[in-house]
Amino acid sequence: MLERLREIISRECELHLAGPIVIGVSGGPDSLCLMDALSRLGHALIVAHFDHKLRPEAEADAREVQRIAENYGFPFELGEADVAAFAKLQALSLEEAGRTLRYRFMFELAEQSGAQAVAVAHTADDQVETVLMHFLRGAGLSGLRGMPLRALPNAWSRAIPLVRPLLSTWRAEVLAYCAEHGLEPVFDSTNQDQAFFRNRLRHELIPILETYNPAVRAGIWRMAQVLSADYAILEKAGDAVWEASVMAVGERFVAFNPAALQAEPSGLQRQIVRRAIALLRPGLRDIDFEATERALEFLSDPERPAQIDLIAGLRLVFEPAYAGPALAGPARIWLAAWEAELPPGEWPQVHQALPLPVPSMIALPGGWQLRAEEIQSIDTIRRQARENVDPFQAWVALDNLTASLEVRARRPGDRFQPLGMGGHALKISDFMINAKLPQRARRAWPLVCAGEAVVWVPGFRLGHPFRLAPDTRQAVHLRLRHVEP
């Protein structure tokens, strides 16, 4: 067994003899066996024990593990936390809360001590139970493939791998090893497992399954191995799709190109969604099927709402293609934390009303500039104004103004009478919707106004009353431009 482990540890777990390894030791047979084997194979260990504060004898257990570690000559580190309180706070199960705190402790320790890896003692039986749990949930490939021998990045670190050298060693072999090498477990981990559900699988369901196939455990274990190779291929296929369909990644958002993503087979769409969720919520253990399906439906549904709640405090936001005449941009679907502000678009925004004297030049956020120039002789620019195709400039008749010009965001009640629509007035919000201005851009889109009157919506239309008429005598040239900030 030691020889087989040596092989697995160096080839599959990629551990070397140079740096220390943080090993999680509960004191049960699995972790004692792993500690002993790693020690015999010449590895330097840092023994991490975590007190969940859930059992009265936990403190005594910790002292016993410490004694054993010191007998090996390994440094001992004790972590502890009020798991029950944390579970309550985070609305997690006791098991999940304990797991989170325990791994956090081990990886912090690994980082502080420059360890090459964190090792845990999951066995082949644990693997089978894990796969079976996922199967009972109706999980996808990422669950059915079970736990990997080596995971990097993992939920806890992008730099320090999590390794499971005992994953192909059965619990019976572990117990035989303990007996052979005189290891005395601090407690019988097989019965004290905090996970009631897992215990039921182990003691009830698996024996029942063995009446259907006596080799069911070996079969499931092997299945996990095969599926894990299949999963690796799918992940590789997903890399290209990620490249092609993800438009932006931030700490709290990922932006997709919905058309690019929709062109892919559903299996790859699911994978990209799962990847994005895992990127924003690395600690999330189960990305449930319903969430992924909801995302796929949101992606393909032309009747989709503007946003939906997805999972774990994340939402999906749809922004249609921006079809404004000058600022065209593709549609986007954002996966983002509810509390996250999506990154500003490339569009012009104004956050307070600013007077716009003539002439003047006003700087707006994000490198936009609004310029107002007096026109000396109206007749010389009539033709130019008539033939203008740039919606970001306009020639405005000042004759009918009742107040001085300013640039500001829309206000409730603002109405607008777009040029060329027969003098019909509509709510500025309806105009913006019709113009397909992205929702986020609307609230602070710069409008050139005079008192109550909306004179010009840059990028879209001039107001009908402010067009150059044959009898116009006074006019101004307005231009909104993006310059490098």
Q: For residues 220 and 435, which CB has a smaller minimum distance to its own copies in the complex?
A: 220
* Angstrom distances, CA of residue 430 to CA of 309, 325, 358: 26, 17, 30
Hey, which residues does 23 pair with through a beta bridge?
Answer: 47, 119
Between residues 89 and 226, which has the closer beta carbon with respect to its own copies? 226
Q: Is 233 in the site for its own copies (CB under 8 A)?
A: yes
Other beta carbons within 10 angstroms of residue 21's beta carbon come to 26
Q: Is 4 in the site for its own copies (CB under 8 A)?
A: no
Task: Report the amino acid identity of residue 240.
Answer: A
Q: Are 149 and 127 in contact (CB under 8 A)?
A: no
**In the chain, how many H helices and how many E strands?**
18, 22
* Binding of residue 344 to its own copies (CB under 8 A): no
Per CB under 8 A, the segment of 155-163, 175-183, 210-218, 464-472 that binds its own copies is 210-218
Give 185-198 as a DSSP string: -SS-HHHH-S-HHH
Minimum CB distance to its own copies smaller for 187 or for 289: 289
Torsional sign, CA 248, 250, 255, 261? positive
- Tokens, residue 144: 């059915």
Q: What are phi and psi of 16, to 5 degrees?
A: -125, 175
Which of 232, 353, 363, 421 binds its own copies (CB under 8 A)? It is 232
Task: Specify the amino acid at residue 266.
Answer: S
Contact status: 263 vs its own copies (CB under 8 A): no
Q: How far is CA 212 from CA 110, 206, 225, in A?
A: 44, 10, 21
Count of CB atoms within 10 A of residue 386's CB? 9
Does position 219 bind its own copies by CB under 8 A?
A: yes
Q: Which stretch binds its own copies (CB under 8 A): 24-32, 75-83, 183-191, 263-271?
A: 263-271
Q: Rule CB under 8 A: is residue 218 a binding residue for its own copies?
A: yes
Residue 91 or 233: the one with the smaller Cβ distance to its own copies is 233
Which residue number, 13 or 119, has a Cβ lying nearer to its own copies? 13
Stretch that binds its own copies, among 136-144, 310-318, 380-388, 474-482 (CB under 8 A): 136-144
Taking the complex as a whole, the smallest distance from the CB of residue 220 to its own copies amounts, in Å, to 5
User: Smaller CB distance to its own copies: residue 265 or 367?
Assistant: 265
Sign, CA dihedral 171-177-179-183, equals negative
Q: How far is the CB of 72 from its own copies (least distance, A)?
A: 37
Half-sphere exposure of 150 (CA within 13 A, CB side): 14
Listed ranges 217-225, 353-361, 385-393, 442-450: which one lies at the site for its own copies (CB under 8 A): 217-225
Contact residues for 481 (Cβ-Cβ < 8 A; gap 6+): 368, 369, 371, 392
458 contacts 391 by C-beta, under 8 angstroms: yes
Query: Which tokens sit at 100?
Result: 């989170």
| Stretch touching its own copies by CB under 8 A, among 11-19, 212-220, 243-251, 393-401 | 212-220
Q: Which of residues 284-303 bind its own copies (CB under 8 A)?
A: 289
- Residues linked to residue 248 through DSSP beta bridges, in sequence order: 255
How many residues belong to the site for its own copies (CB under 8 A)? 40
CB of 5 to its own copies, least distance (A): 21
* Distance between CA atoms of residues 348 and 368, nearest Å: 6
Task: Pick one of 58, 78, 84, 237: the residue that binds its own copies (CB under 8 A).
Answer: 237
Judged by CB under 8 A, which of 200, 203, 285, 436 binds its own copies? 200
Return the residue of 213, 384, 404, 434 that touches its own copies, per CB under 8 A.
Answer: 213
Q: Which residues bind its own copies (CB under 8 A)?
A: 135-141, 144, 197, 200-201, 205, 208-209, 212-213, 215-216, 218-223, 226-227, 229-234, 236-237, 265-268, 270, 289
